[in-house]
A and B are shown apart, each in its own frame.
Chain A
Amino acid sequence: MSGNALRPADENELREIVRAAIAEKQTLEVRGAGTKRGLGRPVAADAPLDLSRLAGVKTYEPEELVLTAGAATPLAEIERLVAQKGQRLAFEPPDYAPLYGGAAGRQTLAGVVATNLAGSRRISAGAARDHFLGFRAVNGRGETFKAGGQVVKNVTGYDLCKLLAGSYGTLALLTEMTVKVLPVAETEATLALSRLSDEAAMRAMADAMGSAFEVSAAAHLPDGIAASVVYQSDGAATLLRLEGPQPSVEARVEGLRALLRPHGAAERLSPPDSKLAWRALANAEPFTHDLEHPLWRLSVPPTAGAATARAITDGLGGSYFFDWGGGRIWLELNGAPSGAGAAIVRAATAKAGGHAVLVRASEETRRTVAPFDPGAPGLFALSKRVKAGFDPLGLFNPGRMYEGV
C-alpha cells in the first residue's frame, strides 16, 4: 500500500484492506469527503483510506422515524430525501467545510456523526450522538461488527454508538449507519433583542430558556458580528427561536415577547431571515473569512459564557458569539498568537467548568497545541484503553485526537 488512496467498494473490501494493514503494520488516514481534515491534529499515516464509495441510502422509513445509509452517504442527499417526507435530522447538522476554506454541501453522514456535530438546536433536540441508533463497522482487528439497532428505542448491550460519535475515525471504520429522523416543525419564528451587553444577553437567554415557551435555540451576537448574521441588525443581537405548529408559535411569540419585556422590545425576524440566521450560526459563518486566524469552540455552563469570553479576549483580542443559550462560544483570535492562545483559553474554560476545542489553526500549531483537551490523567488513560479495545495497533487516524493515540 503506497500513497495511492485505497477506495473500498464495500465492507468486505474494507475489511480486507484493514487485515492487510494489520499484517503490514500500515497506518491509515480515514476520509469521507475530507471536509473536516483541519479539525483535530494532523494525521501522519502511511496511506489514505477513502471511504466515499460506502454510500447510498439503504432504507428510509418515515413512519418508524429511522433511516439507514452507507456511512459515506452525502448528508445533502439524506437531507433532501427526508425533507420530501417533511422530516429532518433534528440536531441541525452544521457544515464546517467553509471554516477551512472548503465548499459547503459535500460532507458525509459519518463525517458529522464521527465529529459529533450539532447546530443551535442542540439545547432542545440533542447532538449527533443523540440521533445515532446503530451501525456496522470494521475495527482495528480486521473484524466486522455491529452495535445498536434500527429502532428508536434500544438498550441492548453497551451504547457503542455514543463512543463512535465524536471518535474522529479513531476507533472503528463505520460502514453503515442508522439515524433517527424527526418531523420538521410546521413553522418557526425568531425574536431578536437589540443592543444588549453580553451579560444582559446571558440573563435574557436564561429567562427565555427557563420558561415554558419551548425555545429551541438561543444565541447572542455582539456588535460587529451581528450584522453578518442578522439582516439589518443594529448593534448586538440576541436571537430566540420558537418552532412548532402555527397557532402554538403565534401564542408563544406573544408570551415570550412579554417575558422578555424587561430586557427590551423584541423584534420578530421574517421567516427567511430567521432561517438564514440560524444556518449562519450553526456553520459559524462569521468566522469563515480570515482562515489563518485560530478559531476556538468552547462549551461551558450557559451562565458562564460572557465572563469566559471576556477573560479570553481581554488577554488575546478576538471576536466571538454565543449559541446554546450562552453555553457554546465560538471565538476567533486576532492574528495568530503563539500556541493559538491555548494556555489562556484553556485556563478560562477550566475556571468556568467546561472545555475548549481548537477548531482551526495552522498544521504546525495543531501538531504542538492539543486541539482537544486530554482532560484529567485518569480519564485520558481510560480513553487510551478504550481506543486499544477497538484498534489495538493504532492503525486508524493515528494522532488525530491526541498525540501518540
Chain B
Amino acid sequence: MLMPPPDQAVMARKAALVARLRDAVPGEGVIADLDAIRTYDCDGLTAYKALPLAVVLPEDTAQVAAVLKICKELGVKVVPRGAGTGLSGGALPIEDGVILGLGKFKKILDIDFANRCTVVQPGVTNLAITQAVEHAGFYYAPDPSSQIACTIGGNVAENSGGVHCLKYGVTTNNLLGLEFVTLDGEILRIGGKHLDADGYDLLGIMTGSEGLLGVITEVTVRILQKPPVARALLLGFSSSEAGGDCVAAVIAAGVIPGGMEMMDRPAIKATEDFVHAGYPLDVEAILIVELDGPEAEVDYLVERVEAIARDCGAVEVRVSTSEEERLRFWAGRKAAFPAVGRISPDYICMDGTIPRKRLPEVLTRMTELSRQYGLRVANVFHAGDGNLHPLILFDANTPGELEKAEAFGGDILKLCVEVGGVLTGEHGVGVEKRDLMGTMFDEDDLKQQQRVKCAFDPEGLLNPGKVFPQLHRCAELGKMHVHAGQLRFSHLPRF
C-alpha cells in the first residue's frame, strides 16, 4: 500500500511544529518522543504502521481549532484518531503529519431523557454512552463488537454498525447533532436535539467521512428504551444455501429480527474449539436469530421463526429458554475473531456487502479462491443485511503471505462488487480498500466525491492518502471541461 511520499520540507520543520503545538496545547498534550509515539503507529489494521511527526492530545474544542490552524499554516497533514480500533487503516499515521487524538474528550455533557438524547464528547466510548443512561432503562442502539473500546467520534467517522443495525439502524440513523472543526480552525455546529435541519444534510455527509472532512468535537445521539425481552434461536443447516434461504424467508414473512448472524463451517469449528458454546458440528452453517421487544411480541415471533426454520429444512433448531442460554448462543459468535486468532498466527477481516441471494455463489467462489491461494478462510456474516466478514488466515512471518492474503481479500471484495454488492458495509475504506475503489466507482464518481472533500478541506491536509486511490488538487477538480463537439449549440460563446 503506497502512501503519498512525505514532504521532506515539512519533516525538516518538526521541531518548530512541536514548539508551536506546545503553545496551543500545554502540558503533556504534545507527544514528540519516538518511543511514546510508537503507541500510535497503527490502528486495528495492524499490517500497516507508520510514525507521525507528533501526537497531539487536545483537551477542548478551542485547542483543536488552534492545532488545526497551526497545521494549516505550516502545511502539516492531520490524522484524527479515536481509540484506534478501526479496521481499514483510517487512523494510520502519516509520516509528514500529526495524529490528532481525541482521547481526552471523555465527558458526557448532557443526558436528556425527556428528549431521548445525550450530548457527549467524541472520545467517550460507545459502551459508556449506554452505561450512562441504562439506569433509566435507556441505551444507545448501534453496537459494534468493539464497543467497549471504540469511541463515538470514531463511530461517526466510520458510520459504524453492529449486530442490531438491521432493526435499529447504523450510526447515521441515530445521530442528531455534531460540533466539528474544519482545517481552517472554524468551529461549526449542525443539528441539535431536533430532527432534520433544513439545508444540505451536512450531518449526513460528515457521518462516514473517515476523518477527511472535519474533526468531530461533540456528538448528540438518540437513545432508546431497551427492549424488555430478548430471545434467540440457534439454527443449523446442511448447506449455506438453506441457511440463506431461511434468512430470506424470515424477511419475506415480514419479520425484522433484532439480530440475524450466520457462520460457516470453518468459523463454527474454530469458535467451538475455543469457547464450547455447544454449536452443532455436523452442519455447514448456523444461523443465530435474535428477537427482541415486548414479551408478547418476542414469544410470538420466536414461534414464527421456528416454524419458518423447520420449513427451510433446518437440521437443528434450538430456542433459548433462559437469558443464560441466549448468551451461550451468542458466545461463539462473539468470540469468532479471537477464536480464529487462536488457530492462525494472523488473520485479516474483510467487510463486503452482497445481495443476500448471491450468498451460496459467493461462498462457493470463495472456497475456490481459498484453494487457489492456499489460505484458509472462515466466514461470519451479518446475514440480515448481507454484510459478509470473511476472515482470511495467514502467517505474516512466512515471506509473501501477507501480500497473498491481501490479494485474496481483494479478490473477495471484487467478487462482492461483481455480484451487485459493495466494498465495505461498516469498516470503511481507509487505506485498506482505497485502491479497490475503482472496481465500484469510475473516475467521474470519485471526482464528484472529492469535490465534496474540496468544499471542506481545499488544501487536502485532513487525512490524505485514505479513501481515494488518486489525489487530485482541488483546483484541477474545479476546472470545467466544455464538451465541445458533442454540443448542439457549439457556436455559442463560452465563458
Contact = CB atoms under 8 A, between A and B. Distances in A.
B221 to A, nearest CB: 14
A101 interface: no
Interface residues of A, number: 102
5 contacts: A63-B252, A151-B425, A156-B437, A159-B208, A353-B192
Interface of B: 112-116, 137-138, 158-159, 161, 165-166, 169-170, 172-173, 182, 186-190, 192-205, 207-209, 225-228, 248, 251-252, 254-256, 293-297, 299-301, 353-357, 382, 385-387, 420-429, 433, 437, 440-442, 444-449, 451-456, 467, 478, 480-483, 486-490, 492, 494-495
B247 to A, nearest CB: 8
B430 to A, nearest CB: 11
Contacts of B137: 212
B293 A248 contact: yes
A210 interface: yes
Contact of B421 (A22, A151, A328): A151
Contacts of A152: 166, 353, 385-386
A158 B297 contact: no
Contacts of B356: 63-64
Contact of B205 (A162, A245, A248, A250): A162
B208 to A, nearest CB: 5
Contacts, number: 293
Given A160-B448, A385-B455, A153 B425 contact: yes
A22 B197 contact: no
A379 B188 contact: yes
A32 B188 CA distance: 34
B201 A155 contact: no
Contact of A139 (B209, B252, B448, B490): B448
Given A23-B490, A183-B254, A248 B192 contact: no
Contact of B293 (A147, A165, A244): A244
Contacts of B441: 146, 157
A191 to B, nearest CB: 15
Nearest to A374: B199
Contact of B256 (A183, A303, A376): A183
A212 B294 contact: yes
Contacts of B422: 149, 151, 154, 156
A267 interface: no
Interface of A: 16, 19-20, 22-25, 61-66, 85-86, 116, 118, 122-123, 126-127, 129-130, 139, 141-147, 149-163, 165-167, 171, 182-184, 186, 206, 209-214, 244-248, 250-252, 255, 299-303, 324, 327-328, 352-355, 357, 372-376, 378-380, 382-383, 385-390, 392-393, 401
A19 B454 contact: no
Contact of A166 (B187, B198, B446): B198
Contacts of A353: 192-194
Contacts of A150: 355, 420
A392 B421 CA distance: 32
